Amino acid sequence: MGELDRIAVVVLSISLFSFPLYVAILVIIARYRKSFFSVFYGLILNQGLYDLSSMFNYFVFFAFRGTDPYADFFWNFRTGFIPLWLYACVYFFLYLRVFGILTITLNRFFACVLPFSKVDRMFRNTSRWAFLTANVILAFSVSLPTLDHTAQIDDKATMSPKQNSLNLARNTLMAASIIILIGAVCFVSYCAIIYRISFTQKLRRQKSDRAEKNAAVQLGMILAAFSLITAHYTIIFTCSLTQTASPLLETLRSAYPVWSAILSYMPAWTLLIINRDIRQRLLGLPDHVTAATSVVQPSVRP
């Protein structure tokens, strides 16, 4: 005890630049809202709050819990709220980010594939705070079954909460089912978006078309990171059907913070890579807002 484990070192190394980068990008989007005025960027702001909250929670409750003097603090509170939260928060922040990705995907689907539909108008007329509140409530509600009041920390070396095996299997099944279902919906929606952008015969403004393609690329990179989590839970669920404990399962569970960090930071890196206006503002270059980097929302029926 007293040293960071290897997984924590990897996550902290990833976060060293990614976390402040994400904060800076969100500040830029919030500060220059007129340049990024669209439902898409409003939902990206929400997703940023989910992602950064998840990583901050990891820093506070996981990364340093086995090091001095934090280990003594966690050990003194080894029963009650701390072990309860150590387990439940994994699912809460997982569902929160996944529901956020689903919301972004559905927004792009209805904006690109079914523009001017009732759902598309709902997205455009609803405050991003309403989406944020709904996602938080939904994630909390879905993660409620993971609460186990019998959880406690009984090993000072690992500082991990001990869970009932039946509860663990149930929660794994539930998480895998939700992740796989949402992953399938996002995949089908994304395929429809790509088809619409690539093969539609409707005449569109060139700059608007580039904006939609940029948004599609950003969404695709986020979904690629999401696929890591989907594969993670699919493998864990498949293995848990045949055995309750194995070296593979333990390795996968211990590596989860790395996949989680990649999922959390992917939106920031996609914005940095794809969005020229954000890059310019980060570098302090003169303002040059281009329609090609902003998602265009339809305002009139064609």
pLDDT digits (tens, 9 = 90+) for 47-80: 999 999 999 999 888 877 767 777 777 777 667 6
- Average pLDDT value for residue range 98-106: 94
Which pLDDT value is given to residue 151? 67
Which pLDDT value is given to residue 301? 42
Partners of 162 in beta bridges: 152
pLDDT digits (tens, 9 = 90+) for 23-46: 999 999 988 877 777 888 899 999
- Does pLDDT of 286 surpass 70? no
- Reference 237, options 177, 163, 160; nearest CA is 177
Query: How far is the C-alpha of 165 from the C-alpha of 233, rounded, in Å?
Result: 17
- Reference 44, options 105, 1, 3; nearest CA is 105
Q: Is 153 helix (H, G, I), strand (E, B) or coil?
A: strand
Which pLDDT value is given to residue 230? 85
Residues 14/261, Cβ–Cβ less than 8 Å = yes
Which pLDDT value is given to residue 56? 94
- Does pLDDT of 279 surpass 60? yes
Q: Which DSSP symbol is given to 156? A: T
C-alpha torsion sign, points 55, 42, 28, 281? positive
Query: How far is the C-alpha of 61 from the C-alpha of 245, rounded, in Å?
Result: 24
Most confidently modeled range among 145-149, 208-212, 233-237: 233-237
Give buried/exposed letters for 57-76 (b at 16+ CB in 10 A, else e): bbeebbbbbbeeeebeebee
- Does pLDDT of 182 surpass 60? yes
Which pLDDT value is given to residue 203? 46
Query: How far is the C-alpha of 275 from the C-alpha of 213, rounded, in Å?
Result: 11
Residues 163/240, Cβ–Cβ less than 8 Å = no
Under the banding of pLDDT at 50, 70 and 90, the label for residue 229 is confident
- Domain boundaries, given as residue ranges, for the chain: 6-61+87-141+165-293
Phi-psi region of 2 (alpha: psi -120 to 50; beta: other; left: phi over 0): left
Neighbours of 282 (CB within 10 A): 16
pLDDT digits (tens, 9 = 90+) for 134-172: 999 999 999 988 776 666 666 666 666 666 667 777 788
What value, to the nearest 5°, has the Cα angle with vertex 45 and ends 209 and 32? 75
Which pLDDT value is given to residue 38? 82
Residue 152: enclosing H or E segment and its boundaries? strand 152-153
Tell me which residue has tokens 């299997």.
Answer: 169
Q: What are phi and psi of 152, to 5 degrees?
A: -155, 155
Which pLDDT value is given to residue 18? 94
Query: How far is the C-alpha of 35 from the C-alpha of 41, rounded, in Å?
Result: 10
Average model confidence (pLDDT) across the chain: 81
- Does pLDDT of 2 surpass 60? no
- Average pLDDT value for residue range 266-282: 88
CATH topology of domain 6-61+87-141+165-293: Rhopdopsin 7-helix transmembrane proteins (1.20.1070)
Which pLDDT value is given to residue 53? 95
Give buried/exposed letters for 182-199 (b at 16+ CB in 10 A, else e): bbeebeebbeebbebbee
Higher per-residue pLDDT: 257 or 34: 257
pLDDT digits (tens, 9 = 90+) for 6-20: 888 899 999 999 999
